Amino acid sequence: MGKGTDKLYITHSEWASEDAYSANAGSGVTKSNTSNAPFKRLPFNFCAISLQPFNHPVCSPGGTIFDITNILPWLKKHGTNPVTGAPLKPTDLVKLQFTRNDDGEMVDPVTFKVLTNNTHLVALKNTGNVFAYDTVERLNIKAKHWRDLVSEEEFSRKDIITLQDPQNVESRNLGTFKYLQEGADTATPEQQRERNDPSRNVNASALGNGASILKPNTKKPTPNINPDALASNRDSINRTLSAISSSTTKPPPSTSTTINVTTSGPSTTKAHALHTTGLAAASLTSTGLTPHTTADLATLSQETYLLHPRRVRQPGYILLSISLPPASSTHNLTLELSPEFAPKACYNFLQLAKSGYYASTLFHRNIPSFMIQGGDPTGTGKGGKSHWNKNFDDEFDGPLKFDKRGVLAMANKGKNTNSSQFFITYRACPHLARKHTIFGHVVEEAESLDTLKKLEEVEVEEKGNRPKGEVRILEAKVLVDPFEEFLREEGERERVEE
């Protein structure tokens, strides 16, 4: 019973050690033994977008399982995989066929073993039949029998889609789901109506007499009002207000109210996350918190709300004033930003430009027929920080491509290492696709195109491709900030609604 011995008892030191588990765990167990899993695992029979058991399962080419009734509205609106953010079309979905036993449990159609969250599951792309991987490996792969074990249809190794791999738990980690990180709303119109209907969220049969509160109030007949009496009362009220305003030292209120649109963020009804604040659960289990009886949705910050892809669709514009050698002449280069598909990169570029971060910085690298790179205050190509003082993720969700001259993109040191450096291409560079975030392009007008041509003609050193003369950004002037325009329009729309 003892550890490494034949003792029939456990000593105190063994009972209190850090490697004790279950019933043997004593007071000496530290936090290293506690279950602090860094992820929440989604069960295999749950839809990855509704987080509920599926009824009509389909999967993406990568093996993410959805319910067809939930994924189709998302694809119609976004056209991307909500889990990974990669482009996804309805025609890419594979309809899954699960076999069930008499008890309604999902089983392997050949061995009839019950499928669990620890079963290695695969599906065949051409038929949609779901098997345990052990069955396919033993009867198909090793036997070189490339026919579906249920329908006898031929398939190849590339048709095998992994739905669940117990050796790769991160594939179903809720913490890595992109739409959950961004707080995207996945509710269908029908679910949204049901969510807003209080009578659908309360068990009225358990309320007793209180159920009458949820019943719609019957409209009472409006009493007959004498228009003459109403006009007389209105005149009386106006005379009283005039007398009060004239007797005070403050000027009378203006009849036209001016509403100042601030950048404090959109209303909370438009910036809700998919998770609650947690106050109701916390106050239920703790006497140190003020009791909360409603599960209010958490509110997104203004920045998180604005930086959601495809929310801000209006383009932005920045004017770069550049000094070129040898005479240090000034030339202008106008850039158009695309926040619809790269909101983080555009927001970062705009905020740095507003703060004067790019003023007096050099273009430290210039490769003719390829690109010119700048944005590093140190001028070495090894420095630079983002607006958030940390690297931010790549943004590849959109139609933007390196298919022409003048594409504006983020320079990086690898995956998800964007900071302040950027580059502008001199030609189409398809080999850079999905390696660098594209967030704009040079405006196709005479002055900007001429400046871009002069940049390419600047002489460079043979080693390092550094310009021989200083190519310096004198000023980065924001002409149009699409995020501020979006907030202003939101404020005006809310004012009209009120």
Q: Given 341, 402, 422, 423, which residue is catalytic?
A: 423
Any catalytic annotation for residue 466?
no
Q: Given 70, 129, 373, 421, which residue is catalytic?
A: 373
Show Cβ contacts of residue 39 under 8 Å, excluding neighbours closer than 6 positions: 169, 170, 173, 174, 175, 176
Q: In what order do the strands lie in the sheet with 65-67?
A: 65-67, 57-59, 94-95
Handedness of CA 150, 152, 155, 157 (dihedral sign): positive
Any catalytic annotation for residue 164?
no
Distance in Å from the first CA to the final CA of the chain: 74
Q: Given 292, 297, 370, 405, which residue is catalytic?
A: 370
Q: Are 60 and 66 in contact (CB under 8 A)?
A: yes
Show Cβ contacts of residue 25 under 8 Å, excluding neighbours closer than 6 positions: 33
Q: Are 20 and 54 in contact (CB under 8 A)?
A: no
d(CA 395, CA 307): 11
Write the CA distances from 228 to 184, 235, 469, integer angstroms. 54, 11, 85
- Name residue 480's beta-bridge partners: 317
Structure tokens at 97: 């066929």
d(CA 412, CA 421): 7
Q: Are 314 and 485 in contact (CB under 8 A)?
A: yes
d(CA 315, CA 341): 10
DSSP string, 59-108: E-TT--EEEHHHHHHHHHHT-B-TTT--B--GGG-EE-B-EE-TTS-EE-
Q: Given 51, 139, 279, 432, which residue is catalytic?
A: 432
d(CA 384, CA 366): 18
Structure tokens at 42: 């989604």
d(CA 402, CA 436): 10
Any catalytic annotation for residue 324?
no
- Name residue 441's beta-bridge partners: 336, 407
Q: Given 302, 332, 412, 465, which residue is catalytic?
A: 412
- Name residue 475's beta-bridge partners: 321
Q: Given 365, 387, 441, 472, which residue is catalytic?
A: 365
Question: Within 10 Å of residue 343's Cβ, how many Cβ atoms?
Answer: 23
Residues in the chain: 498
Roughly what angle, to the nearest 10 degrees, separates helices 482-497 and 343-354? 100
Any catalytic annotation for residue 412?
yes
Show Cβ contacts of residue 161 under 8 Å, excluding neighbours closer than 6 positions: 59, 61, 62, 63, 94, 122, 123, 124, 125
Q: Given 120, 364, 436, 472, which residue is catalytic?
A: 436
Show Cβ contacts of residue 11 under 8 Å, excluding neighbours closer than 6 positions: 2
Question: Within 10 Å of residue 371's Cβ, how many Cβ atoms?
Answer: 24
Q: Are 308 and 343 in contact (CB under 8 A)?
A: yes
Structure tokens at 254: 């203006």
Any catalytic annotation for residue 112?
no
R_g (Cα) of the chain, nearest Å? 32
Q: Which residues are catalytic?
A: 365, 370, 373, 412, 423, 432, 436
